[in-house]
Chain A
Amino acid sequence: MALAHTVSFAAASAEDEADLGGKCASLARMVRGGAPVPPGFAVTTRAWHEMLAANGLGASVAEALRELAPGDVAAHDGAARRIAAAFAATPLPPAVAKAVTAAYRSLCEAEGAHDDLPVAVRSSATAEDLPDASFAGQQDTFLWVVGSAAVLARLRDCWASLYSARAIGYRADRGIAHLDVAMAVGVQKMVNARTAGVAMTLDPCNGDRSRIAIDASWGLGEAVVSGEVTPDHFVVDKVLRQVVSRTISDKAVEVVAEPGARRTVRRDVPPQRRRAPCLSDRQVVAVAAMARQLERAFGAPQDVEWAIEACPADPDGRLMLLQCRPETVWSRRAAAQSAAPGLNGLVANLLTPVRIQV
């Protein structure tokens, strides 16, 4: 059966993964695994290819990218501008627009909305989030997009971002052929997060796999991911399931949905919340438990984005999983030389003095 233009995360199968890009494939897998993922759908690479085929857009892109040397920033800038203009000038293929609109409306209805469900529109490139290459942040993400018209406009913007100057430069530096990368786009219900952040199933400071490190702040996780707020930092003992350290920061800004508006805003956090912990120990342990389950399911350390939505029935709120990708820094390193087994190892350890530092 030919690939559709859109596939809901819940309906996607393992065979569809190559057409969903890294992020969407991961989301689909998480949904299949029963993780608490906000519902949504992927605009597949079929839609991408049809866009490039329309009005010779693909040829314009190829022309702009020809003979671009790595490190030639000015040339990358120029190419990016030309491509952006080409995208802006190309209308969406009608079949694509129809399919995406239908999928969005369907999502709205399932969530009790009517063409106005706030969603995140996220690029999901096919070369992204592989364990040995972190493309994180290279392509664009749009939050609190409301209405099918806005969804279509942001879809086009995501596609175009595959050829931003930064993305061009990133691929050029790593010898990745520009036209080998295709773009899917995820459209997912926004979580109106009270608290959000990231969790890594190892300690990023030393790679310790017995720990889970969590960064959290008020509002949408955007503030943590973009680095514009100093988040609260928690470390959890993965096995004992206890919080082992808490560093509460001065959380000066938060990104929230503006009530009634069709966008997110940055605003100052009220004084009484700035230095208040944004997670209770119980919530910290819940985030850690979810991250640990994902690590088990994928068989490798994970980098997780999560959010907690206010929930009348539960004072701890509802914990949602937004993103999950393989950790790339420590997992790539060769395992530390294992100590010798048996008596040889015991002797070696006896000969390793315990340093006293006070």
Chain B
Amino acid sequence: MSQLRFPSPYELSAPPGAEDWRSMYPYYLTFRDDLRSTEEAKFWFCDSQHWPRPFKPFEAMTVEFAVKCLGQYNTRHYLVPPANGIEVRFHNGYCYLSPVAAPAQDIPKRVELFMQRAGHYFGHWNALVENWRVKVRANIEAMEAIRFDPLPEVVPMAWIESGVGIDNTVPLLAAYDQAIALCYRTWNYHFEFLNLGYAAYLDFFMFCKQSFPSISDQLIAKMVQGVDVDLFRPDDELKKLARLAVELDLGSAFSAGGGVDATLARIGTRPGGARWLAAWEAAQDPWFNFTAGNGFYADDKYWCEHLEIPLGYVVDYIVRIQKGEAIERPVAALSAERERVTQEVRELLDGEALATFDGKLGLARTVFPYVEDHNFYIEHWSMGVFWRKMRELSAVLRDAGFWDDVGDLFYLGRNEVRDVLADHCMAWAVGAPPIGRTHLDPLIAKRKAMMRSLATQPPKPALNTPPEVITEPFTIMLWGITSESIGAWLGRDSGENRLKGMAASPGLVEGLARVIRSADQLSEVQPGEILVAPVTAPSWAPVFGKIAATVTDIGGMMSHASIVCREYGLPAVTGTGNASSTIRTGQRLRVDGNAGTVEVLAG
């Protein structure tokens, strides 16, 4: 059914049992009753691309850091002329975003500053990105170096002898503060180039549409994508390992089962096995710093800590190789297609227009590697280390009696965790029991129940009245908030059996739907099925070789999900709004990645 506006958050109550969810999040990040009229005057869209399920109190920190850091580069670093940052509010366990336009009278001055500042980065892009890699690696190493040591029974004698004069709680608290500070720095780095990258994409897209009013976004995107970026390395490494295993005739060692350790031991006993094991070890650093999730959730599984995941994919690839299937990405074909398409578009332009086109395409291609690769270095690698450190801290607190399960820490916000540490340090220093469980047991139990309840209610794709204009580059290029997507969410172009979204990756296929809501369900996917999810992750790439298409709720033409599908030659429709909550597993679908439509045929 078609509507004119989206519901107000003030009309959307919490599911039963979660009425008190606001107590889990900071005061400045929820819709307040005393600010209702100003909040309702803004359009908010749900970011279910990065946060497809409710986030726990500690995980809310990443939402906050990410959105804040996105904003700073628009507002305070580069002065993107029409756009400041993006406001964020939590509601019913999800986050909603609202771009902030820059005041019109500030724009001329912002243009001046932007030309200087963005000009510097565009003009020195590759050198600055090289330096960025160095900074990010150093940040990762600093995080790896953090130690959370249990508080000892007594202060070390060496400290007495050296006259140190502080106790062990000082480094413990400092380590926690340092971990949070390094995570904060990680997110600062995440956006250092990203806003400019999306601005360059937007510039190229808009130029193409001015030259060719009806040109498809998909055609424009095909001209920009590179084919060999670090984001695909983890999957490429698995494929290499699979090929090596087949070459060394080790296939049967993999399929005998028994878990990771048993399998690796078995491989070691075979001729050629040692060589394969060396390759397996070498691939892990850094390419197994890769999560099946997206890096924003504490329980996202990382390949380096769950070797059964990458090993399982290697086994899948070995089976497919032995069946004679081509498992590599169609790199040569994609590259040839990119060049063909680019040349044909160039043929339709001449003179000044052609020179301008070449310049803008060149810039878009220059920024592309960073825009894709930062995802690996930040969301996968850096956040992987961070979550591991937090679990180490949680283990210390578990061993000190504060909870039974390492995962319990994440039901507290970052400031609450500091209070728990303070409780622990006070008790240790004073020699009396902490308050600890007395406070935490009922609190955590209640929050677990609220989180379970929040997960039962999928979020609305947007809130309040759609805006008249959008100027903020991410909103357009990454989240794909356009007339078409908003219209689709409002029910335009959709019948009972038809969904409209963005034509993210070409191809027309039919198949049975497999709806999954988290990476844990990936093993349920059967060959030839059509994967339907709130969003897909680059690390799902090993599964892409066996499915027919993907359908997602959100995602613009230059989102990772869209780019990865194009690079893998997999038809995709993104930005449907609510495919993952309206389509059911087993339904027969027809997905048209050229037109951006999904039809339910039967079931």
Contacts and interface: CB of A to CB of B under 8 A. Distances in A.
B210 A336 contact: yes
Interface in B178-210: 199-200, 202-203, 206-207, 210
Interface in B295-354: 341, 344-345, 347-348, 351-353
B496 interface: no
A90 interface: no
Contacts of B431: none
A213 to B, nearest CB: 10
Interface stretch (A93-101, A119-127, A350-358): A350-358
A156 to B, nearest CB: 44
Interface string A292-336: 000010000000000000000000000000000000000000011
Given A208-B215, A358-B490, A240 B470 contact: no
A350 B469 contact: no
A341 to B, nearest CB: 4
Nearest to B470: A354
Contacts of B470: 353-354, 356
Contacts of B82: 350-351, 353
A341 B359 contact: yes
A354 B476 contact: yes
Interface stretch (B85-93, B111-119, B558-566): B111-119
Contact of B211 (A238, A244, A336, A356): A336
A237 interface: yes
A206 B476 CA distance: 24
Interface residues of B, number: 58
Contacts, number: 127
A342 interface: yes
B492 interface: yes
B374 to A, nearest CB: 20
A181 interface: no
Nearest to A336: B210
Interface in B557-578: none
Nearest to B469: A353
B356 interface: yes
A346 B210 CA distance: 13
Contacts of A358: 4, 466, 483, 486-487, 490, 492
Given A349-B202, A351-B107, A343 B353 contact: no
B203 A349 contact: yes
Contact of B345 (A203, A210, A345): A210
B152 to A, nearest CB: 57
A14 interface: no
A358 B218 CA distance: 22
Interface string A223-255: 000000000000101111010100000000000
Contact of B203 (A203, A346, A355): A346
B468 interface: yes
B355 interface: yes
Interface of A is mostly: loop
Nearest to A357: B483
A339 interface: yes
Contacts of B555: none
Contacts of A171: none
A244 B487 CA distance: 19
Contact of A353 (B353, B355, B363, B471): B471
B558 to A, nearest CB: 14
Given A338-B356, A352-B206, A358-B483, A347 B111 contact: yes
B486 A350 contact: no
Contact of A354 (B80, B114, B213, B471): B471
B467 interface: yes
Interface in B437-473: 466-471, 473
B54 to A, nearest CB: 28
Interface of B is mostly: helix
Given A346-B203, A350-B81, A356 B119 contact: no
Interface string B206-247: 110011111110110010000000000000000000000000
A291 to B, nearest CB: 14
B212 A242 contact: no
Contacts of A166: none
B168 interface: no
A345 B595 CA distance: 30
A345 B207 contact: yes
Given A351-B82, A356-B470, A335 B353 contact: yes
Interface string B484-498: 001100101000000
A339 B356 contact: yes
B359 A203 contact: no
Interface in B384-434: none
A239 B344 contact: yes
A285 B207 CA distance: 27
B518 interface: no
B203 A206 contact: no
B471 A347 contact: no
A209 B114 contact: no
A237 B213 CA distance: 12
B199 A210 contact: no
A211 B209 CA distance: 12
B115 A209 contact: no
B360 interface: yes
B122 interface: yes
B594 interface: yes
B52 interface: no
A351 B111 CA distance: 9
B263 interface: no
Nearest to A339: B207
Contacts of A237: 215-216, 219
B214 A206 contact: yes
Contacts of A338: 351-353, 356
Contact of B483 (A207, A336, A356): A356
Contact of A349 (B114, B206, B212, B469): B206
Given A350-B199, A351-B82, A345 B360 contact: yes
A236 to B, nearest CB: 11
A356 B348 contact: no
Contacts of A341: 352, 355-356, 359-360
A240 B216 contact: yes
B81 A238 contact: no
A343 B122 contact: yes
A345 B356 contact: yes
Contacts of B483: 355-358
B466 A343 contact: no
Contacts of B119: 343
Contacts of A356: 466-470, 482-483, 486
B501 interface: no
Given A209-B348, A358-B486, A349 B207 contact: yes
6 contacts: A208-B213, A209-B348, A242-B594, A336-B211, A350-B82, A352-B206
Interface of B: 4, 80-83, 107, 111, 114-115, 118-119, 122, 199-200, 202-203, 206-207, 210-216, 218-219, 222, 341, 344-345, 347-348, 351-353, 355-356, 359-360, 363, 466-471, 473, 476, 482-483, 486-487, 490, 492, 506, 594-595
Given A239-B344, A339-B356, A358-B466, 13 more contacts: A206-B214, A211-B212, A240-B594, A296-B347, A336-B211, A340-B356, A346-B200, A349-B202, A350-B80, A350-B203, A351-B471, A353-B471, A354-B471
The 6 closest A-B pairs by CB, nearest first: A353-B469, A210-B212, A346-B203, A349-B206, A341-B356, A338-B353
